[in-house]
Amino acid sequence: MIRLSELELDALVELFNIGVGQAASAMSEIVNETVTMSVPSISFLSRAAAAKLLATKSTGSGRICGISQHYAGAFQTDAILMFPEEKSQQIVRLMVGETMPLEELSAMEQEAMSEIGNILLNSCVGALANIFERELQGSLPAYHVGYSEELLALSGAGESMVLMLHIEFTVERQQISGDVAFIMDVSALQDLKVHVNSYLARAMGGA
């Protein structure tokens, strides 16, 4: 199985932090509050290990709210932004304010979460595309609620690895954590490795 070195992983953390920084700026404009986001860690896991990790993060039903998009170009991947289901209304409430009635909030949840996913996933992927100097085209966001293994099976049952980003963001002193899974087969992982190394070569050459 293809693996990334510590230097390659550190480069990806740096690149993804650029992406979530751009997403935080966009979210700040939506909620009229300062939003900060960071990617403190990433890891490569099997789908089974990733599903087990996600399941431990839910304190409620164990179900997860996910927003997925498919990307193709520099490499192919299915990206899924995920939060424990019990956190999704809290996130939507931050977006639309405290005054909206609960029944209206529930009706808006899918649309609002899809918008958050679209902003965050496109910012992360866009940062990679810009740095790699390659195109990555994304599909429209799709909203899902289910258990972790169900969401991670959305891209099919073939052999693949999951690049897992842990994302922490703060809005109005409230801290919320979520995860982004990039599901990639061996070919896509090889493409990603090549692009990361090209970026590192340019960066070190410039230095």
- 155-204 per-position pLDDT tens digit: 765 678 899 999 988 877 678 888 999 999 888 989 999 999 999 998 88
Structure tokens at 123: 């910012």
Q: Note the pLDDT of residue 158.
A: 64
Structure tokens at 32: 């009229």
Per residue in 73-101, pLDDT (tens digit) is 988 899 999 988 878 777 777 777 666 66
Domain covering 6-206 in this structure, CATH number: 3.40.1550.10
User: 167 and 179 in contact (C-beta within 8 Å)?
Assistant: yes
H or E element in which residue 44 lies: strand 35-46
DSSP category for residue 183 = E
**Helix, strand, or coil (residue 4):** coil
Per residue in 60-69, pLDDT (tens digit) is 778 889 999 9
Question: Average pLDDT for residues 136-140, to the nearest whole number?
Answer: 92
Q: Note the pLDDT of residue 62.
A: 82
DSSP-derived pairing of the beta strands 174-184 and 142-146: unpaired
Q: Note the pLDDT of residue 75.
A: 87
pTM across the whole model:
0.88
The helix-helix angle for 85-96 and 102-132 (nearest 10°) equals 90
Structure tokens at 56: 């431990």
Nearest by Cα to 86 from 61, 112, 109: 61
